């Protein structure tokens, strides 16, 4: 049961505490009487954490939580999925965010970003950036590839974390219910590209994301992520293995599979996530505009160019890959 983990996380820092308490108490001969009545939340910081953890555990055990139509489990995401990502975000990649105020506090928006890094850590970090550092603590609803939702274990986790299948129906439904939707139009072409092609944007799919934004009249926010390219420098791709496993690519990096499990540790590159100026689509004519392929292509190109030029600017400003 994955939920059992959270109590461990919360319990660990508390464990040494009773020991020191006990040692201190051993000197006092008279113990004070035990408190009676219902357990009000105790005063100490660790007790509060523990009480919170227990309440969470109770909610999980009795199914007393809500999921939305897409299967987004806010409670689980908040308490289980996001906490282990925070050290990675703060300490390992030292993510710096820019232009977070370009993401609206309320209302739908479509976040379009470059995709890289062999494993979609860039998606997780962008989610955390918006959740922890945006004033409205917005939940990013990512659109994932088919493959994600066919894989056992991965599929339910992806859904519970608020993601859904990349299709126009879902994108429009989320946007029209005022969610922030994230999309990586490069897909596997972007995330699985060789290290030599880093920061070169790949083709942007078929522009489905633009027509979803047009139809719902929501702004498109181009996002440029610098640093994710260097976490797993992809120098090769085992074609036979990928065909055998039915995966789009099987990465070979300088450390994987050479160093085995150690090779899975990402390189500690310094990350910058820049949220660009929103491109408004509300005035363009809604559903009729989405039926105009030329407009869709032009808008797609505009988004792509914006991300590409921001990437180059950010790379110029970066002092080194790791600092």
Partner 1 sequence: MLVTGVSRYLGTRLAATLAADPSIERVIGVDTVPPRPEAAVQLGRTEFVRADIRNPLIAKVIAQAEVDMVVHMNVIATPLGAGGRTAMKEINVIGTMQLLAACQKAPSMRKLVVKSTTAVYGSSPRDPALFTEDSEPKSLPKSGYAKDAVEVEGYVRGFGRRRPDVTLSLLRFTNFIGPVIETPLTRYLSLPVVPTVLGFDPRIQLCHEDDGIEVLRRCSVEEHPGIFNVGGEGVLLLSQAVRRVGRLSFSVPSPLVSIVGRGFRRAGLVDFSPEQMRFLEHGRVADTARLRAELGWAPRSTADAMQSFVERSPRILHPETVLAAEERLLRVLARRRTVPGSSASTSAKEPVRA
Q: What is the DSSP letter of 161?
A: T
Q: Build a one-symbol-per-residue string for 122-151: x at contacts with partner 1 by CB under 8 A, - elsewhere.
A: ------------------------x--xxx
Q: What are phi and psi of 51, to 5 degrees?
A: -60, -40
CA 211 → CA 166, 216, 217, distances in Å? 13, 9, 9
* Interacting residues with partner 1 between 20 and 49 (CB under 8 A): 21-22, 25-26, 31-35, 38-39, 42, 44, 47
Closer to partner 1 at the Cβ: 70 or 188?
70
As a whole number of angstroms, the distance between CA 155 and CA 70 comes to 12
The region of 95-103, 165-173, 179-187, 259-267 touching partner 1 under the rule CB under 8 A is 165-173
CA 84 to chain centre: 12
Residues 6+ apart with CB under 8 A from 14: 46, 47, 49, 50
Interaction of residue 260 with partner 1, rule CB under 8 A: no
Q: Which is nearer to partner 1, 68 or 96 (CB)?
A: 68
Rounded to a whole number of angstroms, the distance between the first and last alpha carbons of the chain is 38
How far lies 113's CA from each of 44, 135, 315, in Å? 43, 21, 16
| One character per residue 67-96, x = contact with partner 1 (rule: CB under 8 A) | xxxxx-x-----------------------
Candidate segments 57-65, 92-100, 214-222, 255-263, binder of partner 1 by CB under 8 A: 57-65
Under the binding rule (CB under 8 A), the answer on residue 57 touching partner 1 is yes
Of 259, 199, 264, the closest CA to residue 229 belongs to 199
Q: How far is the CB of 16 from partner 1 (least distance, A)?
A: 10
DSSP conformation class of 159 = H
Among 5, 45, 65, 178, binds partner 1 (CB under 8 A): 65
275 beta partners: 223
- In 69-156 the beta strands, taken as DSSP E runs, fall at 96-98, 109-113, 140-144
> Residue 144 corresponds to which tokens in the numbers above?
């994932």
Could you say whether residue 2 binds partner 1 (CB under 8 A)?
no
Q: Between residues 4 and 235, which has the closer beta carbon with respect to partner 1? A: 4
Which residues contribute to the site for partner 1 (CB under 8 A)? 4, 7, 11, 14-15, 18-19, 21-22, 25-26, 31-35, 38-39, 42, 44, 47, 50-51, 54-55, 57-58, 60-71, 73, 146, 149-156, 159-160, 164-165, 167, 169-170, 173
């Amino acid at each position: 049961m994955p939920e059992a983990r959270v109590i461990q996380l919360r319990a660990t820092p508390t464990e040494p505490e009773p020991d020191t308490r006990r040692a201190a108490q051993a000197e006092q001969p008279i113990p004070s009487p035990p408190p009676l009545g219902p357990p009000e939340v105790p005063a100490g910081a660790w007790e509060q954490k523990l009480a919170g953890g227990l309440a969470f555990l109770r909610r999980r055990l009795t199914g007393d939580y809500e999921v939305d139509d897409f299967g987004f489990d806010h409670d689980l995401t908040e308490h289980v999925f996001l906490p282990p990502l925070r050290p990675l975000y703060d300490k390992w990649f030292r993510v710096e965010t820019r232009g977070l105020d370009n993401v609206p506090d309320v209302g739908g928006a479509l976040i379009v970003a470059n995709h890289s890094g062999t494993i979609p850590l860039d998606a997780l970090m962008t989610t955390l950036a918006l959740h922890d550092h945006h004033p409205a603590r917005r939940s990013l609803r990512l659109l994932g590839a088919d493959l994600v939702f066919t894989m056992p274990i991965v599929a339910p986790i992806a859904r519970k974390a608020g993601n859904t299948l990349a299709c126009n129906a879902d994108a429009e439904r989320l946007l029209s219910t005022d969610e922030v939707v994230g999309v990586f139009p490069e897909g596997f072409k972007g995330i699985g590209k060789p290290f030599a092609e880093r920061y070169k944007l790949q083709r942007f799919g078929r522009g489905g994301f633009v027509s979803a934004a047009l139809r719902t009249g929501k702004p498109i926010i181009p996002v440029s992520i610098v640093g994710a390219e260097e976490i797993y420098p992809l120098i090769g791709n085992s074609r036979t293995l990928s065909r055998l496993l039915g995966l789009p690519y099987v990465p070979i990096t300088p450390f994987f599979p050479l160093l085995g499990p150690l090779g899975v540790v990402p390189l500690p590159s310094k990350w910058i996530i820049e949220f660009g100026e929103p491109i408004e689509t509300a005035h363009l004519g809604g559903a009729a505009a989405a039926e105009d392929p030329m407009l869709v292509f032009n808008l797609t190109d505009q988004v792509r160019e914006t991300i590409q030029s921001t990437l180059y600017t950010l790379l110029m400003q970066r002092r080194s890959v790791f600092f």
